[in-house]
Amino acid sequence: MRVLLVEDDEMIGDSLRRALEANGWSVDWVKEGELASSAMADGGYACVLLDLGLPRRDGMDVLRRARAAGDRTPVLVLTARDGVEDRITGLDVGADDYLVKPYEFRELLARMRAVIRRRDGSADSVIGTEAVRLDLGTREVVVGGERSQLSAREFALLHALLERPGAILSRDQLESRIYGWGEEVSSNAVDVLIHGMRRKLGADTIRNVRGLGWRVAAAPAPDKAGRA
């Protein structure tokens, strides 16, 4: 999955990027607020890690603009400011959660998972349908009782498809959810990825809709699982 890292401190940003990449994230890193706003407008991020003290546009302003534009991407505010006023303002402006520096990296990962699954409408770490269940904590998928481990890219792809089961995502939409800036993406990368996942999970798990893209079948549930 892709994360947008907004951090102007070179050392903090660099170590955070490395640690996130080591945990399977594709990281786009920007160091000032205006670029953060344009990256958010481009979309495709599972989560945004936002520093508040930034050159050219304050992090709070980045967040306010994104929410005003209807952007609902989960935003985790990372800040050295430990004043209660900043925390309250951040949450009121639309942050999903915040962490005060210094924090433990494991806690950051856990909070990222939490804000993402809340956006997915799940109270625990499992999202998906009756047929395909994805555990955001362990990156395991369960299909027909069989549990399989997914690579970082397989996980990003399946997560994108399971956000709205039944919805068709195009090749461009899937690429924007899987690959970060500057990553070489061959024209058939998504096909190769899906081919491998079908072999692993069964051909029916991800269906091709000719000319449009791919989808995971919506659960054959009698009610709509509370989604309005």
Q: What is the residue type of 112?
A: M
Burial class (CB in 10 A: 0-12, 13-18, 19+), 166: exposed
Shortest distance, position 79 Cβ to Ca ion, whole Å: 8
Q: Are 43 and 176 in contact (CB under 8 A)?
A: yes
Q: Is 53 in the site for Ca ion (CB under 5 A)?
A: yes
Q: What is the residue type of 105?
A: F
Q: Is 51 in the site for Ca ion (CB under 5 A)?
A: yes
Q: Applying CB under 5 A, which part among 49-57, 61-69, 132-140, 162-170 lies near Ca ion?
A: 49-57
Residue showing the smallest CB distance to Ca ion in the complex = 53
Shortest distance, position 32 Cβ to Ca ion, whole Å: 10
Q: Is 8 in the site for Ca ion (CB under 5 A)?
A: yes
Q: Is 61 in the site for Ca ion (CB under 5 A)?
A: no
Nearer to Ca ion, 53 or 94 (CB): 53
CB atoms within 10 A of CB 4: 25
**Long-range contacts from 180-189, C-beta under 8 angstroms, 24+ separation:** 180/2, 180/26, 180/27, 180/28, 181/28, 183/26
Shortest distance, position 147 Cβ to Ca ion, whole Å: 41
Residue numbers at the binding site for Ca ion (CB under 5 A)? 8, 51, 53
